[in-house]
Amino acid sequence: MTVLVTGAAGFIGYHLSRRLLEQGTPVLGFDNLNPYYDPALKRARLQELHRVAERTGTPLAMVEADLADGAAVEAAFQGRSPAGSPLPCPRPRRVVNLAAQAGVRHSLENPAAYIQSNLVGFSHVLECCRHHRIEHLVYASSSSVYGGNARLPFSEHHGVDHPVSLYAATKRANELMAHTASHLHALPATGLRFFTVYGPWGRPDMALFRFTRAMLAGEPIDVYNNGEMVRDFTYIDDIVEAVLRVLERPATPDPAFDPHQPDPAGSWAPHRLFNIGNASPMPLRTYIEALEQALGITARKRYLPLQAGDVVATAADTSALEAWIGFRPGTPVAEGVARFVAWYRQFYGV
């Protein structure tokens, strides 16, 4: 059964596609390889995926196109390239939508990119899922939807109507759009609120990547909010394991849902929302200490105030996820950071 993975050249998309290929599941990857960060890293991920596909004998097809191109999205769902030629794997029956314009602060500078990718692009995915009778849509949301909420840990039962960045607003919009499609078209859809994902092949705009690069170059690192920001750092392998398990269990209506007292976590429609986090939040300074230990370098720190669009703390309540799939993330941060450092040194030869 082919799985369509949008954002397959991205951080999470690469790791998910690799696991799917390793277990013998054909993958149809879709990515525009945009220059938000170095496209060479994205192409290196794709080269790794092709090596895995060749080694395992599992079909892999890659489409380089933008989700905002509705015709290209439609062609992929039909098992064709944008030019119309057939792709070397069956048409997809399940979809994991990970493609998005990422980055909280970038949304303050280039809002149009978020509208096109995260809203227009996602609407194309939903329409194709509807018309091609996709069995299950799993899509990436974000812990950022909790916005100005100060009640920790964040639970799917909490309201999420106070975003503090356009990125967060688009992710919340995705949840509402998917719920509407589930209601109108009986499309099983599951939204996953990821909490600060890190690990090998990570994004260069994320703190771990930036800190590692600066420390190895002998440069200071920028530490916002005086290092008092708290994050629920979640290792990539845990994220992928959870996504795979969720993919195998399509969303169903919540039989306990009461429209007179609507619970944000439930619905009469086949739509579900889950947090995916490590459930072990820690201050940024502790995260930096783990990196210092892994590198054997003491960071020179430049303390700066909280940035616009950032939240002070995140923490995930993952009890609903564990009840649904029998799994909860748990990789210790020190272990995950050490694995990232080992990959970084090997990949960049430093």
Other beta carbons less than 10 A from residue 86's beta carbon: 11
- Distance, in Å, from the CA atom of 169 to the CA atom of 159, rounded to the nearest integer, reads 13
70 is written with which tokens? 């509705």
| Residue of 74, 69, 94, 97 lying closest to 8 (CA atoms) | 97
Q: Is the peptide bond before 153 cis (omega within 30 degrees of 0)?
A: yes
Specify which residues 303 forms β-bridges with. Answer: 223
User: Is 317 within 8 Å of 275 (Cβ atoms)?
Assistant: yes
| Residue of 244, 344, 195, 336 lying closest to 19 (CA atoms) | 244
Active site (annotated) includes residue 167: yes
**143-to-60, 275, 316 alpha-carbon distances in Å:** 31, 7, 8
User: Is 165 within 8 Å of 144 (Cβ atoms)?
Assistant: yes
226 in the Ramachandran plot: left (φ > 0), alpha (ψ -120 to 50) or beta? left
Residue 335: partners with Cβ closer than 8 Å, 6 or more residues away: 235
Q: 14, 139, 167, 235: which one is catalytic? A: 167
Please provide residue 114's backbone torsions phi and psi, each rounded to the nearest 5 degrees.
Answer: -75, -35
Residues that are catalytic: 167
